[in-house]
Amino acid sequence: MRGVVFTGDRKLEIMEFPDPEPGPREVVLEIKASGMCGSDLHQYRRSSAGDPQAGGVRRSTEPTIAGHEPCGVVAAVGANVLEHEARIDQRVMDHHYEGCGTCKHCSAGWAQMCLDGATVFGSGGHGAHAKYMKVPVSTLVPLPDDLSFEVGAAISCGTGTAYGALRRLSLHGDETIAIFGQGPVGLSATQLAVAMGARVIALDTSAERRELAKEFGAHEVIGPESNDPVEAIRELTHGEGAQKTLDCSSAPSARRAAVQAARSWGTACFVGERGEVTFDVSADLLRRQITLVGSWTFSKNGQADCAEFVADRKIDVGKLFTDRWTLGQAEEAYKLFDTQSTGKGVITPN
């Protein structure tokens, strides 16, 4: 089979790999949709001499198939897999991490926080930008019948990550949330926060993404024409700031603004990966009683909860996808995604 491999420095190759065979307690998925995520851009952009292990997760030194938003059907089942765990043609997502399976984090469904280190599919192990993908049966998450494979792919990272962050924030329907960055995760957060009943202020430098945020239900949008986003948010919130703020961009200026734009006793959350931020701890945090939290993706149970939330409320997550690609178009797909001016892309290997 063919698979997409990021070779570093914004280059990729479509390489040939053997079709995977399941071992004990493993299954092979036939991938129907493989989402493109901001974390894929980190891998796409990384130096070809990148660190093989970073951030507590393992990196592979061998050519590794990219893509960590898998959704498809069970195509093959290995030994010792019980029927209630997986059956042929079952529609599934995948919680795209593998840990030891026994530590306190793995036992709670947080394999990415494994005390022995975790493998992330798509970087440390083969991912979903291919026709087939082999995974432990323990990582499978059922896909509700009402959801498409594309929506399942989005929930498998980007939308699920947004959902996890909103739950970390304990967002309520009578609150205002300012969401910095309207890429795939930020747009998902906007859409889900609206579904939770909150008032959303969406911020992004891209005019196209601000328009998408409006389509997704944002009540107000703020662009770069506002030289002071913090003051702009305060003007929309009776001078106080938002009860909740969420940075999905990783930009230092946005992270700082997210802290400053939260009202006294409010909560700010960072979900965008990497980068740094500097702010005045006393003036911006302590003396305003701000709670600052970090959120890293979601648990296996959280992924299932997100899918149920989307299905029960009939949320049109499919609107996230502005671009659809075949496997052979992967190079063109990532060149466009690298501009960070569009919505979400999805690759359909078959």
User: What is the residue whose two structure tokens read 């430098």?
Assistant: 205
- Lookup: tokens for 231: 């003051």
118 shares its domain with 19: yes
168 shares its domain with 140: no
Q: Please check whether residue 212 is in contact with residue 190, taking contact to mean a CB–CB distance below 8 angstroms.
A: no
142 shares its domain with 52: yes
- pTM confidence score: 0.93
Mean pLDDT of 162-187: 97
150 shares its domain with 165: no
| 61 pLDDT more than 80 | no
pLDDT band at 230 (very low <50, low <70, confident <90, very high): very high
Q: Please check whether residue 161 is in contact with residue 183, taking contact to mean a CB–CB distance below 8 angstroms.
A: no
Range of the domain at 311: 2-157+299-348
150 shares its domain with 164: no
Q: Dump pLDDT digits (tens) for 237-258.
A: 999 999 999 999 999 999 999 9
| 166 pLDDT more than 90 | yes
Residue at which a domain ends, from 276, 294, 312: 294
Weakest-pLDDT range from 152-161, 271-280, 335-344: 335-344
CATH number where 260 lies: 3.40.50.720
Residue at which a domain ends, from 294, 318, 340: 294
10 shares its domain with 86: yes
Amino acid at 313: R
- The secondary structure of residue 187, as a DSSP letter, is H
Amino acid 298: pLDDT: 98
153 shares its domain with 27: yes
The pLDDT > 70 percentage for the chain reads 97
| 101 pLDDT more than 60 | yes
From the list 298, 304, 303, 299, the residue with the least C-alpha distance to 165 is 298
53: left (phi over 0), alpha (psi -120 to 50) or beta: beta
170 shares its domain with 223: yes
115 shares its domain with 180: no
CA distances to 52, 100, 252 from 286, rounded to whole Å, are 38, 38, 19
What span, in angstroms and rounded, lies between the C-alpha atoms of 219 and 197? Answer: 11
Across the chain, mean pLDDT equals 95
3-state secondary structure 313-334: CCCCHHHHEEEEEEHHHHHHHH
309 shares its domain with 264: no
333 shares its domain with 286: no
Mean pLDDT of 50-74: 77
Sign for the pseudo-dihedral over CA of 331, 123, 160, 315: positive
| 313 pLDDT more than 80 | yes
| 49 pLDDT more than 80 | no
CATH number where 45 lies: 3.90.180.10
CA distances to 29, 71, 120, 303 from 128, rounded to whole Å, are 9, 8, 12, 17
146 shares its domain with 7: yes
Amino acid 342: pLDDT: 77
| 57 pLDDT more than 90 | no
Residue count (the chain): 350
| 53 pLDDT more than 80 | no
Residue at which a domain ends, from 294, 310, 333: 294
Q: How many domains does the chain have?
A: 2
